[in-house]
Amino acid sequence: MDKWLKKGMAATVAGTMVFGLAACGSKGNGGSADGHLVFQIWDQGQKAGMEAMAEAYTKEHEGVTIEVQAVGWDEYWTKLEASATSNSMPDIFWMHSNQIYKYADNWDLINLCTTYGDMNGKWDVAMLPKCPNPANGDGRASISNSVSYATAAKGKNKELAMDFLEFLGSEEAQKIQGESGAAIPAYNGLEDAWVQSFADKGYELTLENLIGEFEYSVKYVNNPSRPSWEPKVEQTMLDIYAGSVTIDEGIEKMQSIVTEEMEE
C-alpha cells in the first residue's frame, strides 16, 4: 500500500482502485468470450488516456481487443444499472464512491486491491490558502474522492477482464495515464509524469501546487447512508456561504446530520 497516494484535487478524477463486481445472474456481460472487451467510462476527456492504456495492454496480448466507450454521466449510470439488472454489464467499467454502496447492496463486490489554447498563460493553479480552523486555529484541507475500475464477476470474459484490471493498476499503465494528462496517477511517484504532460504541450501552469495538496488532503466521507445525508450537508454548506448560519453553526449541523442518518 505504500506505493499508493490519495490524490486530492478539484475537477480531476484520480483514483485507481480495482474491484470485481459480481452480478446475481448467470448470463454474460456486454462483451463476448472472443477476446473482445468493452470498457465503459463517463468522461469523454479521459477516453484518449484510457485508450492508450488499452493499446499498451493489447500489444502484449495477441488476439485481445478493447473497445473504450465514453457516455455522459447521467446516461452512464442509467445504462449501468440496466445492464446490471439484466446481467449484461460491460467487461470493464468505472465505479464512483457515490454509487459503490448501491451496487454493493445488490451485487457482491470483490476488493482486488478540453483544451483551451487561447487561455494559455492567462490562468494558473494556486495553492489553497490557509483558513481559520476550529480545531487547530489555522489550517487547510482538500478533499479526495475515489474512482475505480470494475468488472462483472459472472461475465464471459472474466479472466481476461481481471488480467486487464491488474494491468490498469500497474506502474506501466499508471505512467501511461499520467503522460496522457487524463488524470493524476494514483501510483506513488508518477505524479510528475502528469505535470510534465502539460509542460510538453506548452501549457504554462504551476501544477506542482496541486501535487502539494496531497499533504493535507482528506478522504471524503462515504458510507451507506450518504445518499440521505449528502443533499442536506450540501444545503447547509450553501447556507453558510449565504450567511444564514455561521461557520461554527453550520459545521455542528452537518456533523449532526451525518450522525443521525448513520444511526437510522
Element (H, E) at 93: strand 92-96
Please state, in angstroms and rounded to a whole number, the distance separating the CA atoms of residues 228 and 98.
Answer: 11
Contact 204, 121 (CB under 8 A): yes
Pure H helices in the chain: 47-59, 73-85, 97-106, 158-168, 171-180, 191-200, 208-212, 226-242, 247-263
Residue 241 grid cell = 456561504
What pLDDT score does 99 carry? 75
- pLDDT above 60: residue 18: no
Give the chain's mean pLDDT: 76
* 16 closest CA partner among 61, 38, 44, 46: 46
Give per-residue pLDDT as tens, 175-226. 998 898 878 888 888 988 988 988 888 888 888 888 888 888 877 777 888 8
Give per-residue pLDDT as tens, 76-86. 999 988 888 88
Per domain, the residue ranges of the chain are 17-219, 226-263
Beta strand 17-21 with 142-144 is: unpaired
In the structure, what pLDDT confidence band is assigned to residue 132 with cuts at 50, 70 and 90? low
Cβ count within 10 A of residue 133: 11
Range 176-179 contact pairs with CB under 8 angstroms and sequence separation of 24 or more: 176/49, 176/52, 176/53, 176/56, 177/16, 177/49, 177/52, 177/53, 179/52
Contact 194, 181 (CB under 8 A): yes
The dihedral formed by the CA atoms of 6, 10, 16 and 20, expressed in degrees to the nearest 10: 110
- Cα 117 to Cα 114, 198, 201, 209: the distances in Å are 9, 12, 10, 21
What pLDDT score does 118 carry? 60
Please state, in angstroms and rounded to a whole number, the distance separating the CA atoms of residues 192 and 187.
Answer: 11
Q: Indicate the class that CATH gives domain 17-219.
A: alpha beta
- pLDDT above 70: residue 26: no
